Structure 1
Amino acid sequence: MERLLCLFEGLIIWLCDLFLKSSRPKPPAKPDRHVIATSLEDNTLGEPVRLQQTDLARHAYFLGSTGSGKTNFIMNLIEQDLDAGQSIVVLDLRGDLVERTLSLCEAKDVHSGRVALLDLREKEYVAGFNPLAGDGEPFVRALHLLDVVRTEADSWGVQIDEVMRNAFLLLAATNHPVTDIERLLFDMAFLTKLLEASDDPAVSSFFERYQALSEEKQLAWALPVLNKLTPLFATKGMRAILGADQNLNLERILETKGSVLLISLAVDELHRTGRMLGSLLVSAISRTMLARVNVPEEKRNPVRLYVDEFENMASETFESLIAEGRRFKFSLVLSHQNLAQIPPRLKAVIRNNVGLQGLFCCGYQDAKELMWELPEGFTVARLTSLQPGELLLMPRAGESQLVRCTLSRKHTDQTAILAYREEVLRDTGTPIAKVLLQVEADRQGSASLQSLRRPWDLGGGACN
């Protein structure tokens, strides 16, 4: 009997304890940082939507009108990547995405040594970039710079092409910045020094003919070339970026796990300048990533490149990256406003290779063109009437889903953000004044250049 009483007493205690535990309030659930949207589908309404790293490994492409919510959604993806320790590059023509990413890095205590910043509006520090240096053969770097300048030129000619091509080839082969092109064309002692270091007989032959010309004829050949380069040399900041001795070490940055490279190409009223530098940077990043061919796959650091308004940059480079990037653990997140902005060939490459598409509110013409890709029951009218923040996610593998983007966090501690920015800039670059003094000192050292009026000197304050 005593044994039964003991068992009964133990049962009562266990039941009381169970009741007390069930009546205690549950601790609040930890927020899931990787929820980027909520479902708008009838059968999963309100459920969280997540994207894994593997979902973005085959690239992502987002299309939508201005104000449709693309930037906010991309910020959610960037925050997810920062939490996962994913290396990222953010290339932004307007500057907003870069500034928000920088403030997010500060809020998440990303060490400033892991962050590099190149900002065309920066007045104090400069992160150098030489498009004629880096991975790949010198002639590849030189010809791509030539293509970028030619694409942005209002007019072109055989003579301009010949002079510029040979000048770029010589500068690339001798490891000199593009800002030295002026010295190369007007300082014969400097040109002779470069030719002695070159082993390209075709380039040497061209400049032997150039040196034999009269000064007036040399001027007639050289000035149109400098005129075409005016967008690249239009501001002090650009001249400092292109002429700096200390350049961004893209290989080191992209091979460092958790690295963050932020590139703001916003320049007031000088959109051509931003486009040109953007194309050159995309090409340099592409060469660096594709140079991993001899690195074992398991040792390749995954890198994701975010490009807003990507249609303004080199389309052929994007075609190559979309087709080949995955093999080198390099993925793209691309966004823009309408289909008319990109050439048919690039459009086809995107549709055939991208692993994830996201459609925000589109114009009627774009919606009509996309109607054959929309899931069954999703109409053109519905696509054109999506509210800001709503998008149709269309993975290559899996079902499409209508979702609403969750609001990305904004950080308003401006004092902390400015201090963090200053620390990043000091780690990344060199004082602009110091670089410009060196560039100008090199120029003043050439007597033949001191009286020359350059095209970018003629624009007054707009070009300074």
Structure 2
Amino acid sequence: MPESEYPLVRGRNPNPDELALGWAAGADEETDRPVHQLKGVSQEHRATHFYVVGASGSGKTKFLETLAEQDIKNGSGFGIIDAHGDLTEDLKGYLYLLKKSEEDFLRERVILIDPTDPASTTCFNPLEKTEGITPAGIASELVEVFKKIWKDAWGARMEDLLKNTLIALIENDLTLSELPLFLADFNFRKFVLEKVEHPICRQYFERYNTLAPHTRNEWIESTLNKVNAFLSDDNVRQMFVSPKSTFNLRDVMDDQKILLVKLDRGHLKGNADLLGALLLAKLQMAAFSRTDIPPSKRVPFYLYIDEFQNFATESFAQTLAEARKYKLSLILAHQNLAQLLPSLRASILSNCGLQAYFRISRDDSNVLAKESLSSIYNDPPGWEWYIRQLQELPHRACVVKNKIEGGVIAISTLDLPAPHEAADMDEEEFRAEVAASEIGGSYLRPREDVETEYKMRRKELLRNAEAESFRERKVC
């Protein structure tokens, strides 16, 4: 549906209460001539979640970019979990172009998480306490993350070990970087458990400590291997060594800030999935903690998740069903239905009021045609035509289903120039200028400082544990 076929008629320009989606073919009300009309969706309908599916190269990532760029202009709070990195880089450019004139906006109101940054890092402690959620509740959510990422090695023993270990670490305001030490060092474990109040956790490790050394080693070997592999990348490990995160996800939501998470899978490999899943779990907890403020005071927060199937745990279906009441609106993108567990697929198709289908396979077309236009199912020629249309959609064209209003429209997504083109600059020069603006600078710390503090803190923890053990031996 190239725009050159018709004159462009803007009609009504979507206001801050409406998000422009793209151009749809229509007819002029006065002349009945074919025209292109700008189609939008209300912010109220966005609250029902937006599901976007399409093959690689079909234009769905650029579509997300056009939506997020409008969120920047409208002053909306949003987050991006970007599985590849290009989306984050472009949004940094748009932020720079749109907000560089606002004093301290880029440093104070944008949080940039980029584990590949060689000089600086955000600090993120997924074990940090969340208001209104018990340590056991936090541990349960995080165990779901590890269960998803480490499913090939998962078992009941690993689940019990991890859950009780996480409870102990959370109650002591510790981090994932102390997990291997807790499991392997008797004195440190005893020192930590002295401060644990959770009775089941204490009982678990009382039994654990009575095991023969070789049995304990068998119990912890798989868990230690997985955790150590995750922490072996220094850039990733340094994110997790500080007890206090440099950003507060609840504050990000309530204060309508912008969160950019760049998960460059080319550099991070499998660590990208675990990092993304941990952040998503904490975002879910932050949203659910909004029970302490009246519904009328909860401001919307839009969370874009590209390749979301890599990060969604078994509890994600519950999040889809309940997030709306906490004003967390999800925009979920991926490539095909085969990537989803049947239960998650059913939840998405049921709970996402807005759905956009870019070019998809024959199998996916059969499913999504029934979802979007079931009225022609009993018309074989019409049914076959619609399925073929879904398979042959051109680049950056999609079919949008609005379950709230009803109906389906075909659109061409908005044309958004690359940030450096909008700035009329060479791409490398523009990126250097964006980097100099220190986007997210208030939440970053030099890696050297983080590493120095970690080593000092670890020495102090070991010294305190040894001193406590010495006092007990002296008393005995």
The TM-score normalised by the length of structure 1 is 0.83
Q: For 1:229-287, what per-residue CA distance to the aligned partner results, in whole angstroms no more than 9, with x for missing partners?
A: 13431311111111124412111111113x10011122436432111121111111111
Equivalenced residue count is 420
Q: Percent identity?
A: 26
Q: What's 1:38 paired with?
A: 23
Asked if the contact 1:286–1:317 (Cα under 8 Å) also holds between the matched residues in 2, the reply is: no
Q: How far off is 1:341 after superposition?
A: 0.7
Q: What's 1:359 paired with?
A: 357
Q: How far off is 1:47 after superposition?
A: 1.7
Match of 1:402 among 405, 410, 421: 410
Q: What's 2:330 paired with?
A: 332
Match of 1:432 among 426, 433, 447: 447
Asked if the contact 2:174–2:243 (Cα under 8 Å) also holds between the matched residues in 1, the reply is: no
Of residues 73-82 and 41-50 in structure 1, the stretch that sits farther from structure 2 once superposed is 41-50
The letter of the residue matching 1:308 is: D
Q: Indicate the SS of the match to 1:108.
A: helix
Q: For 1:82-101, what per-residue CA distance to the aligned partner results, in whole angstroms no more than 9, with x for missing partners?
A: 11111000001111111111
Q: What's 1:309 paired with?
A: 307
Of residues 194-203 and 276-285 in structure 1, the stretch that sits farther from structure 2 once superposed is 194-203
Q: How far off is 1:38 after superposition?
A: 1.1
Q: What's 1:296 paired with?
A: 294
Cα 1:353–1:225 change in 2 (3 A) is: closer
Q: For 1:147-180, what per-residue CA distance to the aligned partner results, in whole angstroms no more than 9, with x for missing partners?
A: 3223333324444333322211100122211111
1:373-388 equivalences under 5 Å are 373-375=371-373, 376=376, 377=382, 379-388=386-395
Q: Using the alignment, how far apart are the partners of 1:206 and 1:251 within structure 2? A: 32
Of residues 42-51 and 54-63 in structure 1, the stretch that sits farther from structure 2 once superposed is 42-51
Match of 1:280 among 278, 281, 296: 278
Q: Indicate the SS of the match to 2:36.
A: coil
Asked if the contact 1:91–1:262 (Cα under 8 Å) also holds between the matched residues in 2, the reply is: yes
1:62-461 equivalences under 5 Å are 62-109=52-99, 111-112=105-106, 113-135=108-130, 136-153=133-150, 154-212=152-210, 218-247=216-245, 248-257=247-256, 259-268=257-266, 270-375=268-373, 376=376, 377=382, 379-396=386-403, 397-412=405-420, 413=425, 414-415=428-429, 417-421=431-435, 423-443=438-458, 446=462
Q: Using the alignment, how far apart are the partners of 1:217 and 1:373 within structure 2? A: 53
Asked if the contact 1:93–1:264 (Cα under 8 Å) also holds between the matched residues in 2, the reply is: yes
Q: Indicate the SS of the match to 1:268.
A: helix
Q: What's 1:25 paired with?
A: none
Asked if the contact 1:117–1:262 (Cα under 8 Å) also holds between the matched residues in 2, the reply is: yes
The letter of the residue matching 1:155 is: A
Q: Using the alignment, how far apart are the partners of 1:92 and 1:324 within structure 2? A: 23
Q: How far off is 1:443 after superposition?
A: 4.5
Q: How far off is 1:439 after superposition?
A: 2.7
Asked if the contact 2:304–2:332 (Cα under 8 Å) also holds between the matched residues in 1, the reply is: yes
Q: Indicate the SS of the match to 1:229.
A: helix
Q: For 1:415-441, what per-residue CA distance to the aligned partner results, in whole angstroms no more than 9, with x for missing partners?
A: 454454452243112112222233344
Alignment RMSD (CA, Å): 2.7
Q: For 1:12-71, what per-residue CA distance to the aligned partner results, in whole angstroms no more than 9, with x for missing partners?
A: xxxxxxxxxxxxxxxxx9998964411135776412222332231211111111111101
Cα 1:419–1:437 change in 2 (3 A) is: farther
Cα 1:215–1:433 change in 2 (3 A) is: farther
Q: Using the alignment, how far apart are the partners of 2:268 and 2:193 within structure 1? A: 35
Q: What's 1:57 paired with?
A: 47
Cα 1:317–1:429 change in 2 (3 A) is: farther
Cα 1:419–1:141 change in 2 (3 A) is: farther
Q: Using the alignment, how far apart are the partners of 1:128 and 1:327 within structure 2? A: 29
The letter of the residue matching 1:253 is: V
Cα 1:187–1:441 change in 2 (3 A) is: farther
Q: Using the alignment, how far apart are the partners of 1:441 and 1:222 within structure 2? A: 26
Q: Indicate the SS of the match to 1:362.
A: coil
Q: Indicate the SS of the match to 1:392.
A: strand
Q: Using the alignment, how far apart are the partners of 1:268 and 1:230 within structure 2? A: 20
Q: Using the alignment, how far apart are the partners of 2:197 and 2:459 within structure 1? A: 28
Q: How far off is 1:198 after superposition?
A: 1.2
Q: How far off is 1:384 after superposition?
A: 0.7
Asked if the contact 1:232–1:277 (Cα under 8 Å) also holds between the matched residues in 2, the reply is: no
Q: Which runs of 5+ in 2 are unaligned?
A: 1-10, 377-381, 466-476
Q: What's 1:456 paired with?
A: none
Asked if the contact 1:61–1:356 (Cα under 8 Å) also holds between the matched residues in 2, the reply is: yes
1:10-29 equivalences under 5 Å are none
